[in-house]
Amino acid sequence: MRIATVFSGIGSIETAVSKVYGEKNQEIVFACDTGEREINKTKEDVENETRGMNEKEKQKYISTLYFGKGKRNFVKESYFANYNISDDNWFEDIRFINGNLFKNKVDLFVGGSPCQSFSVIGKRAGLEDARGTLFYDFARLITEIKPKVFLYENVPGMLSHDDGKTWKHIQDIFDSLGYKIFKALLNAADFGIPQNRKRLYVVGFKNKKTNFEFPKPKKLTTSLKDFLDEEVDAKYYLKEKGFEFVTTNPHRARINRKIIQTQKANQQYNWNGDFVFEHLDKHKHDKAIQDGAYVGNYNGDMGLVRKLTPNECFKLMGFKHFKNVVPDMQAYRQAGNSIVVDVLVEILKKINEVL
């Protein structure tokens, strides 16, 4: 399975493909992610400055622009620690990928552009009308690469944005590319992960005779406790102020729920998200935790409250053996911005049936 991804994040589709086809039966043609960094140059500026360069020189120049911002690409660091890819197959910016170089060399092309404003899309809703949005570049690459299948993911709000006009424009653009498309809203909690994370998935096939059905929901047989680490560092336990906030603000923080709420990029910061309460008896012999954490009363029991660890957050996105090589704040962001692997696995199985 030859895959190419943009807005690649920490490689959810790469992990899913490995599970379905086997790691040895996966080739990553290319991947791309800015790592939440921006350069203060327009696309036109960069194109003017790279005119006359060959493709390798152009990409090296663009990398220099990003690294010149003085910020690490933490996403790239995580990606390279977990997948087999070379620098030559990594791009910093989707806007400058020449998809013609990969024409007919990709089986599956995957991405989920940021849910930015689509107000620039015109009434005709053709591809040119989307110019100026990152969605334009995703669609452009489909026309240039001509993959057998593409998979697009985004938030459910895309369907209702601007009274449905945004989705109508996007659907018209997908139709104009010559692909037969199918869409569905799928929730992670229906595919083995105890997280209420509903997302829009769009699958497009170059073969317009394809008949495709999305996977059916399954009964959830796991809960949060099945994804918790056995040993947790003392630094993840809250002090008094955090304990008091988390235990008295259920609209911001939830404790020991069977199904967690949607993980977000700011998961576990500002005491936002899901937390774990543990009875004091569990830690009566753990001096490091007792010295650093606050012991308080919650629902009549004395104990401690802690954040989910980055490893737990990765597991709650379907990454069971993810190698974390970045600081905690970045790890939480990367988990919260990812796509649930288990949902992609089930979609891939259905794609495999029709391929």
Outline where DSSP puts E strands in 12-114: 27-32, 90-91, 108-111
Backbone angles phi, psi at 160, to 5 degrees: -105, -10
Give me 68's structure tokens.
């010149």
Q: Closest Cα to residue 183, out of 208, 219, 159?
A: 159
Map residue 7 onto helix, strand or coil.
Answer: coil
CA distance 71 to 96: 20
Long-range contacts of 122-128 (CB under 8 A, 24+ apart): 125/168, 125/169, 125/172, 125/173, 125/176, 126/172, 126/173, 126/176, 127/173, 127/176, 127/177
Respond yes or no: is residue 115 known to be catalytic.
Answer: yes
Amino acid at 121: I
Give me 284's structure tokens.
């009566």
- Check 89, 95, 115, 126 and give the catalytic one: 115
Number of neighbouring beta carbons within 10 Å of residue 245 = 16
Residues noted as catalytic? 115
